[in-house]
Amino acid sequence: MINTRFTEGDYDLDEEIDSHLRRLFYIKPKAATPKLNPYIVEFFGVLSLTDLRAPQRKLWVIYHAKQPDLDKTVDAIHEKYGKKNMFDLYRTPVFSGAALRESVRKHFSNLKWFTTGNLLESPPKSHFNDEKMVKTITDLHYLEHQRLYNYVMVKNMWSMRYR
């Protein structure tokens, strides 16, 4: 039985042959792929923030973090804005928290909201409350799922067509 697990000092014949063939046939070298652990889940979340100096302001803080860093990220936000002033409104595992964060920021900036960093502020006399915020973010999350599904289905269709 061949041992397929290598340590750093082991010699990998397949990699060596691949690199020589790439040089021989003038093929671009493989890009260095980051070693990602697919078992570490990424989360996207929204915290509802109440400003004690101006309670009529409606503020939300968006964040994304991998599962091991989630508590540190939320604690840092609590430390910055105060733990008593906020509560966890929405948290869900996602494929890419950064992409969902950017789509949420883009959506709300198109609605003429004030978006600075991770902070979202609705304009004065806005009809948005926490329930509408959750519904909007859920819809944006669904659209993100739909985009990924469509991408995978198109790639599958092309691979099936050219077999």
CB 28 within 8 A of CB 53: no
Task: Average the pLDDT over 24-40 and give the result.
Answer: 75
Q: Is residue 31 in some structural domain?
A: no
Q: Is residue 32 in some structural domain?
A: no
Q: Is residue 114 in some structural domain?
A: yes
* The pLDDT value given to residue 1: 46
Token pair listed for 109: 């900036």
Q: Is residue 23 in some structural domain?
A: no
Cβ neighbours of residue 160 under 8 Å, at least 6 residues apart? none
Q: Is residue 53 in some structural domain?
A: yes
Residue 67 domain boundaries: 44-150
Output the pTM of the full model: 0.70
Distances (CA, A) of 64 to 69, 74, 115, 129, 144: 9, 9, 16, 21, 15
Indicate the average pLDDT of the chain.
Answer: 85
Q: Is residue 141 in some structural domain?
A: yes
Q: Is residue 127 in some structural domain?
A: yes
How many domains, in total, are found in the chain?
1
* The pLDDT value given to residue 24: 82
CB 49 within 8 A of CB 81: yes
Model confidence pLDDT, tens digit, residues 63-107: 999 989 999 999 999 888 888 888 889 999 988 888 888 999 999
CB 78 within 8 A of CB 72: no
Q: Is residue 140 in some structural domain?
A: yes
